[in-house]
Amino acid sequence: MKILVETSARHIHVTQQDLETLFGPGAELSFKKALSQPGQFATNERLTLVGPKKSMPNVSILGPVRPATQVEISLTDARSLGLVAPVRESGDVEGSAPCKLVGPCGEVEVSQGVIAAKRHIHTTPEDAVKLGVKDKEVVSVKIDTPERSLIFGDVVVRVSPKFATAMHIDTDESNAAGCSGEVYGEIVR
C-alpha cells in the first residue's frame, strides 16, 4: 500500500491566550484552507518568528488553537534562527527551544515549544491493519522520485480514527528526496 507523502513547511500552533496577545482581545483564527488531517486548517494569520540570530516573517499559523503554543521548523530554519530545536513528536515540547513570536498587536516570549517535527505517518486503524503497523511503531519508508529516491528511517506511526492516512516530512527532508507534486512512499522492512 502506497502512502501519500506531504511536506510540512514551518508553522506555528497557538493557544487562545497567545492568539489574543498577538492579534488582540477576542481574536479568532480565520480559515484559509483545509489540510489533509480532519479538522486541521491553514489560517490567514501570520507571525514573525524571532531567534537569537535573525527573524523569519510571515510564518503560518495552523488551526484550531491548541492547549500549548508550539513552533515546528526544519533544522535548517533552526540553525538560521540560532536555535537548537530538538527532533520531537508534535506536542512533546518539554525542554525544547525558546523563541519570540511577534504579531500585529503584541509579542509572546515562548519559553519552550520550538521543535523539528519527527517524521511520522498519520493513519486510520483500518489502514494500519492494511499497512501491518501499530501505533507508536517506528518504520522505514522508501520514497521513489526521479533523481533522489531515499529511504527514511525513524518514521513514527500514529494511529487514530481521527486521522487521514498520510506521511509528513519537513522541507529539509522533502528537498533531500527531491519531492515535488504528489509523492507516495511505501513502508519497507
Q: Is residue 29 part of a domain?
A: yes
Grid cell of 137 as nine digits: 511503531
Final residue of a structural domain among 96, 116, 136: 116
Percent of the chain with pLDDT over 70: 100
- With bands split at pLDDT 50, 70 and 90, how would you rate the model's confidence at 179? very high
Final residue of a structural domain among 58, 88, 116: 116
Mean pLDDT of the region 96-105: 98
Same domain, 85 and 124: no
Q: In this structure, how many other beta carbons lie within 10 angstroms of the beta carbon of residue 34? A: 11
Q: Is residue 16 part of a domain?
A: yes
Residue of 102, 105, 103, 58 lying closest to 77 (CA atoms): 58
What's the chain's average pLDDT?
Answer: 97
Q: Is the pLDDT of residue 139 over 90?
A: yes
Same domain, 48 and 108: yes
CA distance 105 to 31: 20
Predicted confidence at residue 52, as pLDDT, reads 97
Same domain, 92 and 130: no
For 12-23, write each residue's pLDDT tens digit: 999 999 999 999
Q: Could you tell me the pTM of the whole model?
A: 0.94
- With bands split at pLDDT 50, 70 and 90, how would you rate the model's confidence at 189? confident
Same domain, 31 and 79: yes
Q: Is residue 26 part of a domain?
A: yes
For 61-75, write each residue's pLDDT tens digit: 999 999 999 999 999
Grid cell of 76 as nine digits: 535548517
Domain extent at residue 142: 120-188
In the chain, the DSSP E strands lie at 3-8, 11-13, 31-34, 41-50, 55-63, 70-72, 87-88, 97-102, 107-117, 120-123, 138-143, 150-159, 166-170, 183-188
Q: Is residue 21 part of a domain?
A: yes
Predicted confidence at residue 80, as pLDDT, reads 98
Q: Is residue 2 part of a domain?
A: no
Q: Is residue 3 part of a domain?
A: no
Same domain, 65 and 33: yes
Same domain, 134 and 95: no
Mean pLDDT of the region 157-186: 97
User: Into how many domains does the chain fold?
Assistant: 2
